[in-house]
DNA sequence: TCATATTATTAAATATATTTACAATTTAAA
DNA sequence: TTTAAATTGTAAATATATTTAATAATATGA
């Protein structure tokens, strides 16, 4: 094998030392005299040595690789239309700063692939975004590496490190803001029966409504998927329902779709309908009028995920961590007082 | 080292064969009788053997890891507000399907880090998005692995595999569409002197204007960065310049910022100003009115990048590949005939 | 000074898969 | 039946870093 790479053997030979001594210096093992250490450090610099993580992994069993699973399947591709992933990854890398871990992306990994993927690469840890297929959790447990689930609201997820947002509180804030602005007939847009995240948000809506003894009418609940198109398509029905003065949406992208249709039909937001979004994606501010919404700090989620993994891996910490992040009300122009 | 993982040694011992034979079966080396092969395959299945890529990498020198460099620094974070990266990665993974490569994300890698990063992980290939710091190219060459540059319009980039869009043609299409719609006084929004990509787009604008003997006035060129905020801030100036009837923007996000300000001021798009974007990010369709723009197929860029790398790595293909993708005019509602 | 303790260094084993060089066996050809 | 050729298989070397156990060198105390 032609190979110009410098190994600890080269350095050892160059200095007339053994590879072990060089390894000790590199790893800061306090077994080497100061003089020898300096010589080794100098040689590393001179020869341009770069540690080979592959060999290190083989030897230590730690790859310093962390897998991140993005669900890129058809069902969730719409979800990608918001910059969630990149923001998350940015935050994650920030949290990893100073620790030599690399992030391996897994897209379209089915549960069959998943286990093999983790094993063959000796992945040290795993971050999974979104709810997993039901039957994968026992498999995950068996992998025996730290795993952080992001926004997985299933019961199974409770057995893992877990970062999510307090969605009930978030939607409570949204609904309360509408109520406090004088609205009484408030619609809910989302699929509480299909998606756990929507269920939790529905609970917040319900709590606010019941607090003020406002009626929750089932035909004010519009069960559609969280995509622009689904919002766009329901827009006409919403604007034509005159008793409805405001809606809360379980996703900004939905609200943006609804808003677009309403304006195409010649109506005005918020005059003809007040709209609350959820997520505070950047485009919530970019559309006109600016969408009032609930912010969850995605980048923060990323760095918290990194911290959890680092703590597990570097300090061999046991036990599971659950973080429920508090959402914040963001007021722009899509809601009008009544 | 407590270790429950199954190696080819375990399989070899289990069957009374040598590890080499097992390796041959796994790698399809035609040196093993059908009978032995079947026995080995059966044992692999029974014992749940998963090949260890770390050991394989050490032995073969090929890591089957490809690095992707996302520029997450301050200057480009605004660029992230469009879903470019995830769409690109999605396309890339699609192109990689069936080949066992994994994608390692490098964010915030400075050029110092970069070389070490590639070496220590034995990266087989590299994808770099956006223009690199000037002095990094010679370093890249020395890495001696296939590299694909995406949307790098610097001269240095010519020495590498290269995927970009025909931006001149794209902006030509945009400008021509405005001219054909009857506009004569057309502004250009972008920074042709600072960004190579904007320079190329400016060339297309110029070509269309000169073709019809329309004057390019320097005070119709607005040199701002491609962010929502910069667009938003220039909006008022643009709408107040009454002789201007249309503008071409070097990025959708810019056009969206301009549009928002104009509407906040009570003006109408396209009645008071016709606007062309560039990129066709999903939000070009989500805003009201829908933004007419130029589409570049990002996902396609990703899969082409994957194909180039695969071809180099699997077939040991030499030479560099240059792909210039053709843009497409997308007509929505932000342009009005005069 | 000798024995013991401490520090510094090395040889060898380990982690796992691949590959080269070679040995053994079988088949085909002479 | 030999010889040659092809097939099937193995032992050992290799890739690189870590780590254990052992040894060598030095220092300390009696």
Return the number of other C-beta atoms located less than 10 Å from residue B152's C-beta.
Answer: 21
Average pLDDT over residues A95-106: 89
Question: For residue B97, is pLDDT > 90?
Answer: no
Residue B310 shares a structural domain with residue B276: no
Q: pLDDT exceeding 90 applies to what percent of chain A? A: 68
Residue A291 shares a structural domain with residue A315: no
Residue B71 shares a structural domain with residue B42: no
Question: For residue A41, is pLDDT > 90?
Answer: yes
Closest CA to A57 of B102, B27, B121: B121
Residue A155 shares a structural domain with residue A193: no
Out of B63, B103, B286, name the one closest to residue A260 (CB): B286
Residue A172 shares a structural domain with residue A288: yes
Out of B1, B53, B288, name the one closest to residue A121 (CB): B53
Q: pLDDT exceeding 70 applies to what percent of chain B? A: 93
Q: Is residue B273 part of a domain?
A: yes
- Extract the tokens encoding B217: 């006035």
Residues forming a β-bridge with A186 = A246
Question: For residue B69, is pLDDT > 90?
Answer: no
Residue B171 shares a structural domain with residue B249: yes
Q: How confident is the model at residue A76 (pLDDT cuts 50, 70, 90)?
A: very low
Out of A51, A54, A107, name the one closest to residue B58 (CB): A54
DSSP characters over A79-130: GGGSTHHHHHHHHHHHHHTTS--EEEEEES--HHHHHHHHHHTT-SEEEEES
Instruction: Please give the Cα distance from B276 to B64 (Å, whole number).
Output: 42
Asked if the Cβ of residue A86 lies within 7 A of any atom of strand C, the reply is: no
Minimum Cα–Cα distance from A100: chain B residue? B117
pLDDT score for B30: 86
Average pLDDT, rounded, for chain A: 90
pLDDT score for B83: 56
Average pLDDT, rounded, for chain B: 89
Contact between A83 and B83 using a beta-carbon 8 Å cutoff: yes
Per the listing, tokens 């847009």 go with: A189
Contact between A90 and B104 using a beta-carbon 8 Å cutoff: no
Residue A317 shares a structural domain with residue A282: no
Distance B113 CA to D13 C1' (A): 34
Residue B173 shares a structural domain with residue B291: yes
Residue B303: which domain range? 65-165+298-326
Q: Which of B2, B9, B49, B54 to mutate to test the interface with A (most CBs of A within 10 A)?
A: B54
Residues forming a β-bridge with B162 = B149, B322
Asked if the Cβ of residue A21 lies within 7 A of any atom of strand C, the reply is: yes
Question: For residue A208, is pLDDT > 80?
Answer: yes
CATH, residue A157:
3.40.50.2300
pLDDT score for B75: 46
Residues forming a β-bridge with B163 = B150, B323
Reported as a single tens digit per residue, the pLDDT across B262-280 is 999 999 999 999 999 998 8
Q: Is residue B159 part of a domain?
A: yes
Instruction: Please give the Cα distance from A24 to B264 (Å, whole number).
Output: 65
Q: Is residue A284 part of a domain?
A: yes
Distance from CA of B288 to the nearest CA of A (A): 6
Interface membership of B332 toward A (CB under 8 Å): no
Give A303's contacts (C-beta < 8 A, 6+ positions apart). A91, A92, A94, A95
Tell me which residues of chain A, numbers 269 to 328, contact chain B at a CB-CB cutoff of 8 Å: 282-283, 285-288
Q: pLDDT exceeding 70 applies to what percent of chain A? A: 93
Distance A109 CA to C14 C1' (A): 32
pLDDT score for B77: 45
Q: Is residue B338 part of a domain?
A: no
Angle between helices A196-211 and A167-180 (to 10 degrees): 40
Q: How confident is the model at residue B123 (pLDDT cuts 50, 70, 90)?
A: very high
Element (DSSP H or E) covering residue B210:
helix B196-211
Residues forming a β-bridge with A162 = A149, A322
Distance A20 CA to D24 C1' (A): 15
Q: Is residue B220 part of a domain?
A: yes
Residue B172 shares a structural domain with residue B268: yes
Question: For residue B74, is pLDDT > 70?
Answer: no
Q: Is residue A172 part of a domain?
A: yes
Closest CA to A300 of A84, A80, A72: A84
Q: How confident is the model at residue A2 (pLDDT cuts 50, 70, 90)?
A: very low
Strand D, CB < 7 A, residues 43-82 of B:
55, 58-59, 61
Instruction: Please give the Cα distance from B324 to B70 (Å, whole number).
Output: 21
Q: Is residue B332 part of a domain?
A: no
Angle at B304 between CA B303 and CA B309, to 5 degrees: 100
Q: List Cα–Cα distances, A246 to A196, A285, A290, B75, in angstroms.
A: 23, 19, 15, 39
Q: Is residue A330 part of a domain?
A: no
Q: How many domains does chain B have?
A: 3
Question: For residue B315, is pLDDT > 90?
Answer: no
Reported as a single tens digit per residue, the pLDDT across B171-189 is 999 999 999 999 999 999 9
Contact between A260 and B1 using a beta-carbon 8 Å cutoff: no
Reported as a single tens digit per residue, the pLDDT across A266-319 is 999 999 999 999 988 888 999 999 999 999 888 899 999 999 999 999 887 888
Residue A241 shares a structural domain with residue A272: yes
Residue B249 shares a structural domain with residue B289: yes
Dihedral sign of CA atoms B112, B113, B116, B119 in order: negative
Average pLDDT over residues B209-227: 95
Distance from CA of B94 to the nearest CA of A (A): 9
CB half-sphere exposure, B215, CA atoms < 13 A: 7
Backbone angles phi, psi at A135, to 5 degrees: -85, 15
- Extract the tokens encoding A74: 């058809």
Residue B72 shares a structural domain with residue B160: yes
């Amino acid at each position: 094998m032609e190979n110009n790479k410098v190994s600890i053997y080269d350095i050892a030979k160059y200095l007339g030392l053994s590879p072990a001594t060089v390894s000790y210096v590199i790893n800061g093992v306090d077994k080497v005299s100061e003089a020898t250490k300096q010589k080794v450090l100098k040689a590393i610099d001179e020869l341009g040595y770069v540690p080979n993580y592959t060999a290190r992994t083989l030897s230590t069993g730690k790859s310093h690789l962390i897998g991140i699973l993005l669900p890129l399947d058809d069902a969730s591709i719409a979800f990608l239309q918001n910059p969630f992933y990149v923001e998350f990854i940015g935050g994650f890398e920030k949290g990893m700063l100073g620790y030599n871990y690399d992030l391996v992306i897994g897209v379209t990994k089915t549960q069959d692939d998943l286990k093999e993927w983790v094993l063959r690469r000796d992945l040290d840890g795993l971050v999974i975004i979104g709810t997993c297929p039901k039957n994968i959790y026992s498999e995950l447990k068996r992998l025996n590496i730290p795993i952080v689930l992001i926004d997985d609201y299933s019961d199974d997820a409770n057995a893992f490190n877990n970062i999510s947002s307090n969605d009930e509180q978030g939607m409570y804030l949204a609904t309360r803001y509408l109520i406090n602005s004088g609205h009484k007939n408030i619609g809910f847009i989302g699929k509480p029966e299909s998606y756990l995240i929507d269920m939790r948000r529905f609970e917040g809506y319900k709590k606010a409504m019941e607090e003020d003894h406002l009626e929750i009418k089932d035909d004010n609940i519009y069960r559609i998927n969280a995509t622009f198109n689904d919002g766009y398509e329901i827009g006409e029905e919403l604007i034509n329902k005159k008793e409805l003065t405001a809606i809360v949406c379980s996703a900004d992208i939905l609200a943006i779709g609804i808003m677009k249709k309403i304006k195409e039909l010649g109506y005005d937001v918020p005059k003809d309908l007040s709209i609350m979004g959820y997520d505070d994606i950047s485009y919530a501010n970019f559309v006109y009028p600016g969408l009032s919404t609930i912010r969850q700090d995605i980048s923060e989620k990323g760095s918290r995920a990194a911290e959890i993994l680092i703590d597990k891996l570097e300090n061999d910490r046991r036990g599971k961590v659950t973080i429920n992040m508090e959402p914040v009300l963001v007021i722009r122009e899509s809601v009008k007082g009544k």
